Amino acid sequence: MSLDQYNSLEEASMEEFILSPFVAPIILRRNYFNNPIFKDNPKIRMGKVMDGSYMVCYVSIDLISTLLSDEKLYNVCLTMGLLSQFDLESAGIAAVQHQPYLSLRGQDVLIGFVDTGIDYTNAAFIREFDHSSKILSIWDQTLIGDVPNGYYFGAEFTRDQLNEALQAEDPFEVVPHRDSVGHGTFLASVAASQEPGMYMGVAPDADLVVVKIKRASPYYRNRFLIEDGVENVFQTSDLMLGIDYILTKSREEAKPVVICIGMGTNLGGHDGFDVLEDYLTGISYLNGVAICAAAGNESNAKHHAMGVIPSAGATQEVDLRVGSNVPSIFMGMWNSSADRMSVSLKTPIGEVIVRTPARSGETTITRLIMENAVVSVTYSYPSGGSGAQLTEIRIEDPTPGIWKLSVYGEIVLDGTYHIWMPLTGLASQEMEFLSPNPEYTVVVPACAVGVITCGAYNSRDKSLYLASSWGKTRLPSIAPDLTAPGVDVGGVFPTGYGIMSGTSVSTAITTGACALLLEWGLALGNVTSMNTYHIKSLLIQGCDREAGMVYPNDQWGYGRLNLYNTFLQMRSI
Split at pLDDT 50, 70, 90, the class of 5 is low
Q: Which CATH number fits domain 3-76: 1.10.3470, 3.40.50, 1.25.40, 3.30.70?
A: 3.30.70
Indicate if the alpha-carbon torsion angle 542, 546, 551, 557 is positive or negative.
Answer: negative
* Cα–Cα separations (whole angstroms), residue 29 to 100, 213, 270, 296: 48, 22, 19, 26
Query: CA 484 to CA 464: how far, in whole Å?
Result: 10
Domain residue ranges of the chain, discontinuous segments joined by +: 3-76, 93-135+176-299+444-570, 304-433
Residue 160 pLDDT: 98
Mean pLDDT over 11-23 rounds to 92
Give dist(CA 483, CA 91) in Å, integer.
10
Closest CA to 423 of 403, 391, 445: 445
Q: To 5 degrees, how large is the angle CA 139–CA 153–CA 1?
A: 145
Percent of the chain with pLDDT over 90: 78
CATH pick for 304-433 out of 3.30.540.10, 3.30.830.10, 2.60.120.1290, 2.40.50.140 = 2.60.120.1290
Rounded CA-CA distance 107/205 in Å is 5
Give the model's confidence band at 444: pLDDT under 50 very low, under 70 low, under 90 confident, else very high: very high
Predicted local confidence at residue 368, as pLDDT: 94
DSSP state of 36: G
For residue 260, what pLDDT is reported? Answer: 98
CATH for 93-135+176-299+444-570 is 3.40.50.200
Alpha-carbon distances, residue 491 vs 84, 96, 180, 296 (angstroms): 13, 20, 16, 20
pLDDT tens digits, 218-267 = 999 999 999 888 889 999 999 999 999 999 999 999 999 999 999 999 99
Greatest CA separation found in the chain?
75
pLDDT tier, 571 (very low <50, low <70, confident <90, very high otherwise): confident
Contacts of 466 by beta carbon, 8 Å cutoff, 6+ apart: 299, 300
Confidence (pLDDT) at 572: 63
Strands 110-115 and 207-212: parallel
Q: Show the DSSP H helices in 69-158 as ranges.
A: 93-98
What is the DSSP code string of 550-572? -SSBTTTBT-B--HHHHHHHHTT
- Residue 358 main-chain phi, psi, to 5 deg: -75, 115
566 pLDDT above the threshold of 70? yes
Q: What was the pLDDT predicted at 129?
A: 82
**207 φ/ψ angles, rounded to the nearest 5 degrees:** -85, 155
The residues, ordered by sequence, that sit 6+ positions from 95 with a Cβ below 8 Å of its Cβ are 89, 563, 564
- Using the CB atoms, write b or e for 262-284: b if 16+ within 10 Å: bbbbbbbbbbbbbbbbbbbbbbb
Question: What is the tens place of the pLDDT at every residue in 450-495?
Answer: 899 999 999 999 999 999 999 999 999 999 999 999 999 999 999 8
More confidently predicted of 112 and 573 = 112
Mean pLDDT value of segment 369-379: 95
**If you average pLDDT over every residue of the chain, what do you get?**
91
Those residues with Cβ within 8 angstroms of residue 207's Cβ, 6 or more apart along the chain or in another chain:
109, 110, 111, 134, 135, 136, 253, 255
For CA atoms 96, 201, 555, 270, give the dihedral sign: negative
Per-residue pLDDT, averaged over 150-163, amounts to: 97
Neighbours of 62 (CB within 10 A): 13
Taking the CA atoms of residue 379, residue 381, residue 383 and residue 389 in that order, the dihedral angle to the nearest 10 degrees is: 70
Q: How far is CA 398 from CA 19, 222, 312, 404, in A?
A: 32, 16, 30, 12
Share of the chain above pLDDT 70, in %: 92
For the stretch 64-97, pLDDT in tens is 877 766 555 567 888 999 886 644 455 667 667 7
Q: Tell me the residue type at 146.
A: D
Q: Which helix (H) or strand (E) holds 259?
A: strand 257-261
Cβ atoms of 156 and 101 closer than 8 Å: no
- The pLDDT of residue 69: 64
User: Which helix (H) or strand (E) is 66 found in, with range?
Assistant: helix 61-68
pLDDT of residue 87: 46
For the cut 90, the answer to whether the pLDDT of residue 315 exceeds it is: yes
Residue pair 358/408 in contact (Cβ under 8 Å)? The answer is: no
Per-residue pLDDT at 7: 59
